[in-house]
């Protein structure tokens, strides 16, 4: 029988990573190439062809390919979407400007907000009014919609978002308006909020619906182009996209809901961390993914990443919540900070050393890449510190320019601060570490978790270089680094099930709830999920549904997600629901609120197919002792000695399970390098993870 393979491919800001896995044996091969920002599909094709050739695999043997893309995020940030108009309830065209009426920085007199994707002159008041209970106060004038649609099409408008007040309670007006637009101007793309995100809060609903239709044409062109490239190579399998929530979807579903792809790449990394953690007996982890442009940190709780239901894109201030465009989609909850291997170091006007968030990216990249970069970066500093082997970067495929990196750090940093080059490089390295450790600490504590109890799971091309110091700063009990850490995020693509999230807003107090309506909403969402997944090829009996609700104390402004039991709900479930609410509330805040009633705001269902059985077969190392894996020594800088120390360098591929050694040490593989500081106690576990204790 012919061997079958699955492929996962991730486009990052600097590198595009790929893994190809034999579904029968678990044997795998990985690839890595520089990202091509002008046309990301070019890098996908390049790394796919190279890796399949090296593995001796014909493209026709690939059964599934799962892909994550930053295209949606980039299109919104760069404002490269379609010319879009907004049709909204009369009197609400300015809700995009008004927003939440909150200042994300109380003391910034020059406060900036991102420009709406639809300028005011393309936002139109429509005579129509639906009330909060779903009843109609003013009927929709469909003839008015048709006239307007024809004018928009004649004026070069390409897309229309329709967002009517309270459409989550009754979507008939939005559906009628969509039909009217399609009758009058069939070439216009249309998204309606009751289809994209039927959820309360009109500002977020409008922002999400606009973003969805704004990028729809661009996403479809890219995906169809990539499909064409794959077909020309001989690929005839199934092509899936990773969603921000951690599920995967078909191309057709992704084209219909492109806003769901905003965080598809980072989501895969968190899923990979969860899968590795479960296999290693560590269901609770702090996932740390550091690549060339950013670092992503995510809490893995009981084997699953935490999920949020809102996100911001195009923040004016990258790390300030409220400064971006809100997108109401389910997304794996993580914090992303502008610290990566390509983050640029500089001395500011006060004479202080700063690192990031600006990045050299893939073009031109760090100075040591010798591709035209002139600004010193974190990777340049790591090279000067002896942490990277200039002749073994990417397994020897890229020679690094040590002298170029040294001169850049000397001229731009060391001379300005009056420091030796090595100490300036250490300053860059350590500031990057502190930035990431501080972000991880805040992110963990805000979710009611103690970072001292969470082992750090580190991956990404740059993550293992910095993970030891970050784990020490956090007080983590252990550090785990998987084999192939530089491309670990690709494993997440192959461990995700086909899945989709649904939501319906219908507020109500638990003690006064209409249980018939509640059950109807849940059953409708489950039926929709069942149909969507069956149409994607998932057997009916393999589909599962998970229910949740957003609850809060009456009068609160924010809500929390609470799991719901399966089956039909009725008044007898009231104690169970209250108990579940209080358990989640206490876990988050370590206390309960005042003795007031609890209400539900949103009802949610996650419909999923079976999780793939991904078992990677790692080739046995040729030795069981660290000595046999010792390939060389080289000087590396450690602050404990305030100098360079002759440090053993181990070949990661020759470290067998059971091998132990102590730091300081350097462990090299093709796509990443592990730096273990003095005092680190290392062992290889049975899954070929490098486990470091302190």
DSSP labels for 491-510?
HHHHSPPBEEEEEEEEEEEG
Q: Read off φ and ψ for residue 561, nearest 5 degrees.
A: -85, 130
Enter the tokens of residue 213.
């239709």
Q: Are the C-beta atoms of residues 225 and 50 closer than 8 Å to each other?
A: no
Give the helix ranges, DSSP H, for 536-620.
574-589
Under the banding of pLDDT at 50, 70 and 90, the label for residue 80 is confident
Average the pLDDT over 527-540 and give the result: 91
Q: Are the C-beta atoms of residues 550 and 504 closer than 8 Å to each other?
A: no
Count the alpha carbons within 13 Å of 434 in the hemisphere toward its beta carbon: 9
- The angle subtended at Cα 394 by Cα 388 and Cα 395, nearest 5°, is 90
- Say yes or no: 164 and 84 in one domain: yes
The answer to whether residue 624 scores a pLDDT higher than 50 is: no
Answer whether residue 338 is part of any domain. no
Whole-number pLDDT of residue 626 = 54
- The CATH number of the domain holding residue 141 is 3.40.50
Answer whether residue 304 is part of any domain. no
- Say yes or no: 60 and 81 in one domain: no
Q: C-alpha distances in angstroms, 5 versus 279, 288, 494?
A: 22, 28, 11
- Say yes or no: 537 and 596 in one domain: yes
Hunting for tokens 């078992």 — which residue is that? 615
- Say yes or no: 229 and 168 in one domain: no
Residues 6+ apart with CB under 8 A from 527: none
Enter the tokens of residue 65.
């390919």
What average pLDDT is seen over the chain? 90
Q: Are the C-beta atoms of residues 405 and 380 closer than 8 Å to each other?
A: yes
The answer to whether residue 408 scores a pLDDT higher than 70 is: yes
Whole-number pLDDT of residue 310 = 81
Q: C-alpha distances in angstroms, 332 versus 167, 207, 296, 432?
A: 27, 20, 11, 24
Answer whether residue 267 is part of any domain. no
- Total domains in the chain come to 4
- Say yes or no: 526 and 602 in one domain: yes
Q: Which domain holds residue 552?
A: 499-608
The length of the chain, given as a count of residues: 694
Whole-number pLDDT of residue 619 = 63
Q: Read off φ and ψ for residue 300, nearest 5 degrees.
A: -105, 115
The model's pLDDT over 294-325, given as tens digits with 9 standing for 90+, comes to 888 999 998 889 888 888 887 777 557 777 88
Answer whether residue 285 is part of any domain. no
Whole-number pLDDT of residue 588 = 85
The model's pLDDT over 469-511, given as tens digits with 9 standing for 90+, comes to 999 999 999 999 999 888 888 888 888 888 889 999 999 999 9
Whole-number pLDDT of residue 622 = 47
Beta bridge partners of 335: 297
- Say yes or no: 115 and 148 in one domain: yes
Comparing C-alpha atoms, which of 310, 334, 337, 338 is closest to residue 324? 310
Beta strands in 520-669, from DSSP E residues, in sequence order: 544-553, 560-563, 598-608, 630-638, 643-651, 660-662, 665-668
Q: C-alpha distances in angstroms, 677 versus 462, 656, 660, 693?
A: 16, 21, 15, 11
Average the pLDDT over 36-48 and give the result: 86
Hunting for tokens 């995100």 — which residue is that? 197
Under the banding of pLDDT at 50, 70 and 90, the label for residue 73 is confident
- Say yes or no: 87 and 195 in one domain: yes
Residues 6+ apart with CB under 8 A from 369: 379, 398, 400, 401
CA pair distance 46, 372, nearest whole angstrom: 22
Q: How many helices (H) and strands (E) does the chain have?
A: 18, 35
Under the banding of pLDDT at 50, 70 and 90, the label for residue 2 is low
The model's pLDDT over 320-361, given as tens digits with 9 standing for 90+, comes to 777 788 999 888 888 878 788 889 999 998 899 999 878 887
Whole-number pLDDT of residue 354 = 92
Average the pLDDT over 47-67 and give the result: 91
Whole-number pLDDT of residue 377 = 95
Whole-number pLDDT of residue 104 = 78
Whole-number pLDDT of residue 505 = 92
- Say yes or no: 156 and 238 in one domain: no
CA dihedral 348, 349, 351, 355 (to 10 degrees): -10
Enter the tokens of residue 370.
């010798």
Answer whether residue 93 is part of any domain. yes
Q: Show the 3-state SS of 286-329.
A: EEEEECCCCEEEEEEECCEECEECCEEECCCCCCCCCCCEEECC
Average the pLDDT over 226-236 and give the result: 91
Whole-number pLDDT of residue 1 = 46
Under the banding of pLDDT at 50, 70 and 90, the label for residue 411 is very high
Answer whether residue 51 is part of any domain. yes
The answer to whether residue 607 scores a pLDDT higher than 90 is: yes
Instruction: Supply the DSSP symbol for 411.
Output: I
CA pair distance 659, 689, nearest whole angstrom: 11
Q: Read off φ and ψ for residue 477, nearest 5 degrees.
A: -75, -30
The answer to whether residue 620 scores a pLDDT higher than 70 is: no
Q: Read off φ and ψ for residue 195, nearest 5 degrees.
A: -95, -45
Percent of the chain with pLDDT over 70: 97
Q: What number of other Cβ atoms are within 10 A of residue 215's Cβ?
A: 27
- Say yes or no: 83 and 182 in one domain: yes
Under the banding of pLDDT at 50, 70 and 90, the label for residue 627 is low
Helix (H, G, I), strand (E, B) or coil at 363: coil
3-state DSSP: the chain helix, strand, coil percent, rounded to 5? 35, 25, 35
Helix (H, G, I), strand (E, B) or coil at 28: strand
- Say yes or no: 112 and 199 in one domain: yes
Answer whether residue 303 is part of any domain. no
Count the alpha carbons within 13 Å of 11 in the hemisphere toward its beta carbon: 28
The model's pLDDT over 373-405, given as tens digits with 9 standing for 90+, comes to 899 999 999 999 999 999 998 888 889 999 999
The answer to whether residue 623 scores a pLDDT higher than 50 is: no
- Say yes or no: 543 and 631 in one domain: no
Average the pLDDT over 551-576 and give the result: 93
- Say yes or no: 578 and 676 in one domain: no
The model's pLDDT over 425-465, given as tens digits with 9 standing for 90+, comes to 999 999 999 999 998 998 888 787 888 999 999 998 899 99
The answer to whether residue 621 scores a pLDDT higher than 70 is: no
The answer to whether residue 625 scores a pLDDT higher than 60 is: no
Answer whether residue 293 is part of any domain. no
Q: Are the C-beta atoms of residues 308 and 532 closer than 8 Å to each other?
A: no
Whole-number pLDDT of residue 10 = 86
Whole-number pLDDT of residue 338 = 77
Distance linking the first and last C-alpha atoms of the chain? 49
Count the alpha carbons within 13 Å of 131 in the hemisphere toward its beta carbon: 5
Under the banding of pLDDT at 50, 70 and 90, the label for residue 581 is very high
Q: Which residue has the higher pLDDT, 526 or 76?
A: 526
Under the banding of pLDDT at 50, 70 and 90, the label for residue 642 is confident
């Amino acid at each position: 029988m012919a061997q079958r393979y699955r492929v996962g491919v991730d486009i990052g800001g600097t590198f595009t990573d790929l893994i190809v896995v034999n579904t029968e044996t678990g044997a795998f091969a990985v690839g890595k190439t520089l990202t091509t920002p002008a046309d990301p599909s070019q890098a996908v094709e390049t790394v796919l062809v190279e890796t399949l050739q090296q593995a001796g695999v014909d493209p026709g043997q690939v059964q599934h390919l799962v892909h994550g893309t930053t295209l949606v995020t980039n299109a919104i940030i760069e404002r490269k979407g379609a010319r879009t108009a907004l049709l909204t309830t009369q009197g609400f065209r300015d809700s995009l400007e008004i927003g939440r009426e909150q200042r994300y920085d109380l003391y910034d007199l020059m406060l900036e907000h991102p420009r709406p994707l639809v300028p005011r002159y393309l936002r139109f008041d429509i005579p129509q009014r639906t009330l909060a209970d779903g009843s109609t106060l003013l009927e929709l004038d469909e003839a008015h919609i048709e006239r307007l649609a024809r004018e928009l099409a004649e004026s070069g408008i390409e897309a229309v978002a329709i967002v009517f007040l309270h459409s989550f309670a009754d979507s008939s007006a939005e559906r009628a308006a969509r039909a009217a637009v399609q009758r009058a101007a069939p070439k216009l793309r249309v998204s309606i909020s009751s289809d994209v995100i039927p959820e309360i809060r009109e500002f977020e609903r409008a922002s999400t619906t606009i973003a969805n239709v704004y990028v729809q044409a661009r996403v479809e062109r890219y995906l169809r182009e990539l499909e064409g490239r794959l077909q020309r190579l001989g690929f005839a399998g199934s092509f899936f996209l990773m969603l921000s929530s951690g599920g995967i979807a078909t191309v057709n579903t992704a084209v219909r809901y492109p806003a769901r792809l905003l965080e598809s790449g980072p989501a895969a990394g968190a899923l990979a961390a969860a899968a590795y953690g479960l296999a290693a007996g560590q269901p609770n982890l702090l996932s740390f993914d550091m690549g060339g442009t950013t670092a992503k940190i995510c809490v893995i709780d009981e084997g699953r990443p935490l999920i949020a239901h809102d996100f911001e894109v195009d923040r004016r201030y990258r790390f300030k919540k409220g400064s971006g465009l809100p997108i109401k989609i389910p997304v794996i909850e993580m914090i992303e900070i502008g610290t990566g291997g390509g983050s640029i170091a500089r001395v500011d006007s006060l004479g202080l050393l700063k690192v990031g968030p600006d990045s050299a990216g893939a073009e031109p990249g760090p100075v040591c890449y010798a591709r035209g970069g002139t600004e010193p970066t974190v990777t340049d500093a790591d090279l000067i510190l002896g942490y990277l082997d200039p002749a073994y970067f990417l397994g020897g495929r890229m020679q690094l320019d040590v002298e170029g990196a040294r001169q850049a750090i000397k001229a731009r940093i060391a001379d300005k601060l009056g420091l030796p080059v090595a100490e300036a490089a250490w300053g860059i390295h350590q500031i990057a570490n502190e930035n990431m450790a501080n972000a991880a600490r805040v992110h963990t504590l805000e979710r009611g978790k103690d970072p001292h109890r969470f082992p750090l799971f580190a991956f990404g091309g740059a993550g293992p270089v910095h993970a030891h110091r970050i784990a020490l700063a956090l007080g983590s009990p252990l550090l785990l680094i998987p084999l192939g850490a530089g491309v670990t995020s690709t494993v997440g693509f192959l461990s995700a099930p086909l899945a989709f999230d649904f939501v319906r807003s219908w507020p109500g107090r638990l003690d006064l709830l209409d249980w018939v309506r509640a059950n109807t909403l849940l059953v409708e969402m489950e039926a929709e999920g069942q149909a969507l997944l069956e149409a994607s090829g998932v057997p009916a009996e393999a589909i599962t549904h998970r229910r949740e609700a957003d609850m809060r104390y009456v009068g609160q402004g924010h809500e929390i997600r609470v799991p719901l039991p399966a089956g039909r709900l009725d008044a007898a479930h009231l104690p169970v629901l209250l108990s579940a609410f209080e358990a989640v509330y206490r876990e988050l805040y370590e206390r309960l609120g005042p003795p007031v009633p609890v209400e539900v705001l949103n009802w949610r269902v996650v419909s999923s197919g079976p999780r793939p059985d991904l078992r990677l077969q790692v080739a046995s190392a040729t030795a069981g002792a660290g000595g046999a894996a010792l390939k060389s020594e080289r000087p590396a800088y450690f602050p404990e000695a305030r100098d360079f120390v002759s440090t053993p360098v181990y070949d990661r591929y020759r470290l067998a399970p059971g091998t132990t050694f102590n730091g300081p040490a350097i462990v090299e593989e093709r796509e990443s390098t592990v730096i273990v500081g003095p005092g680190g106690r290392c062992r290889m576990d049975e899954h070929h993870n490098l486990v470091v204790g302190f």
